[in-house]
Structure 1
Amino acid sequence: MGTIYYGGSATPIHIEDRALAHLKVVIATKLRRGESFTVSWTHPDDQPRGRSTIWLHPSIPLRFVFDEPESPSLSREWIEDLANSANSSGGISLVAENVETDGEPVPDISPQAVELVDDRD
């Protein structure tokens, strides 16, 4: 489970390493261009129902921490899906990866876990 630390927030955002690796590529590209945008996700089943959105801006500190020491192989299609949503007025929507088998795309229905933890307690 990877983590995003954003700004001065004491609340880290936990995202599965593979999803975070793909998200990092898109976020870094947008921020390198000086673009601001949002990232949204639905809460995992073990959290209260709902969704969250954060506003990303190039001047706000951002750090990605991965549990796995090795980078996963990246899916160009997944990066393109995330980048397309990043370029929309709704911002990036963290969506599951589509996995191909025998040339047929099969949606990955496993949730991309996102957990908000309040470390202020």
Structure 2
Amino acid sequence: MGSLEYGGREFEFDDRTLTHLQIVFSTKLRRRENFFFSWVQPLERGSGRHSIWIDNGTSIHFSFGGSRLPAVNRDWVEALLASSGRTAGLQLMPEPEARG
């Protein structure tokens, strides 16, 4: 389990999810595209929905629990990037099956 530290707050995500979020965040911010990032908190962590505004003016720290870089699912990255361009912003979604 790792964490995303942003705006003085810390949010827990598994390392695999964090890896994919790091790719999407860095892609968007390199393009100078600010966005909302939203996700549903699992019941075991209190439930509810979170939404934070991501921009280049606030430092972001990704902290990974493991030392190995997970394999990247390009389909998931593409789906996350596609959602980030919508009005509601980046919506964390379950990982799709990787194609062939």
Report the TM range for the smaller structure's normalisation: over 0.9
The structure that has the greater radius of gyration is 1
Using the size of structure 2 for normalisation, the TM-score is: 0.92
Q: Give CA deviations for 1:76-113 in whole Å, capped at 9, x if unaligned.
A: 10000100001111111111101258x6xxxxxxxxxx
Matches within 5 A, 1:102-121: none
Show structure 1 runs of 5+ residues with no match.
104-121
Q: Percent identity over the alignment?
A: 36
Q: Aligned residue for 1:2?
A: 2
What is the identity, as a one-letter code, of the residue corresponding to 1:6? Y
Q: Does 1:53 align with 2:51?
A: yes
TM-score after normalising by structure 1:
0.77
Unpaired runs of at least 5, structure 2: none
How many residue pairs match? The answer is: 100
CA RMSD of aligned residues (A): 1.5
The one-letter code sitting in structure 2 at the alignment partner of 1:12 is E
User: Which structure 1 residue ranges, 4+ long, deviate > 2 Å from structure 2?
Assistant: none
Instruction: Quote how far apart the aligned CAs of 1:33 are.
Output: 1.2
